[in-house]
Amino acid sequence: MANIAFFGLGNMGLGIARNLLRAGHQLTVYNRTPEKARTLLDDGATLATTPAEAAQNADFLIAMLSDDHASRSIWLGPEGALDAAPKGSLIIECSTLSHNWVTELCQETQQRGLSYLDCPVTGLPDAAAAGQLTLFLGGPSATIKKAQPLFDAISVKQLHFGDIGSGTAYKLIVNLMGSIQIAATAEAMRIAEQSGLDLNLVSSALATGAASSPNVIRICEQICLGQDPEQIPFNARLRHKDTEYGAAFARQMDAPSLLGDVAEQYFRDMTDVGMGDRAEGALIEQLRSKS
């Protein structure tokens, strides 16, 4: 079994880390809030006080973090993991990051004699907890094969898109598309509300129609609930970050997304007025405030 350093124990990271433990791997974890590691310690994980300490004896180093800033801090910040990682170890970034930062991070790892895979995931926290994620992989086939026992513990599907950076490219594209769907759903439900239609009936009709998607169904359910769900699977702040990174990547590819730019502004507005920790479906409240 492998020695793994794991960074980031948020809603997604905690489930991933637990499944790696259940598969028999040795896990050393680091999280900015150590209390979140308590249940993993009961299951046999070791808690490190710095990223460097976690990295010292690791064969694999895996991160599931919120954004570029958090990722840079873990890998290259004071007592960062990269300088402490053993030569030949494999860095696996599961976070949704900007394409520019993934490119830079890959270069930093290779300069230190380390390997790198970009491995963003799709699936909400319940899928992470159940080991049923889908992985979007970018990197050499031989490197992916080396990590396969880990991937088997956390996912049901792995899609290899090509060279390093390609997994991130796809993740940014699909998340940008998802953001557009969410924004369009909130707009549609607001129009239906203003038209005097029964939102529960509209939600049911959309769920079985040609415009349906998991995002449409989920956001309609949140809106009909009339309040945030007790457990928010993904908040507006993270949605804004993903949309911002996706829209920036589209411009970088000389294929700007006009719809993506509108969605990015919607979620930026939510964070600007203090709704960043709200569920994505709360976007309809922001739309109501502008009527």
Instruction: Please identify, among 129, 164, 199, the residue that sits at the C-terminal boundary of a domain.
Output: 164
Residues 178 and 285 in one domain: yes
Together in a domain, 91 and 231: no
Q: Does 94 score more than 90 pLDDT? A: yes
Tell me: do 146 and 174 sit in the same domain: no
Distance of alpha carbon 236 from alpha carbon 54, whole angstroms: 31
- Residue 209 has what pLDDT? 96
Tens-place pLDDT, residues 3-46: 999 999 999 999 999 999 999 999 999 999 999 999 999 999 99
> Is residue 147 domain-shared with residue 117, that is, in the same domain?
yes
Per the structure block, which two tokens stand in for 246?
């996706």
Based on the domain organization, do 109 and 199 belong to the same domain? no
Same-domain check for residues 152 and 191: no
Task: Indicate which CATH number applies to the domain containing 269.
Answer: 1.10.1040.10
Q: Domain range spanning residue 181?
A: 169-289
- Token duo for residue 192: 């239906």
**22 shares its domain with 155:** yes
Cβ neighbours, 10 Å, residue 290:
7
d(Cα 164, Cα 152) in Å, to the nearest integer? 20
Domain stops at, among 139, 164, 189: 164
The tens digit of pLDDT for each residue in 212-237 reads: 999 999 999 999 999 999 999 999 99
Q: How many domains does the chain have?
A: 2
User: Kind and range of the H or E element at 77?
Assistant: none
Both structure tokens of 286: 């922001």
**H/E element holding 47?**
strand 46-47
Residues 6+ apart with CB under 8 A from 144: 117, 137, 151, 158, 160
CATH number, residue 54: 3.40.50.720
273 in the same domain as 142: no
- Looking at the structure, tell me whether residues 183 and 144 fall in a common domain: no
Percent of the residues in the chain that have a pLDDT greater than 90, as a whole number? 99
Confidence of residue 290 (pLDDT cuts 50, 70, 90): confident
Do 92 and 117 lie in a common domain? yes
Residue 189 shares a structural domain with residue 101: no
Q: Which of 143, 164, 185 is the last residue of a domain?
A: 164
One domain for residues 71 and 125: yes
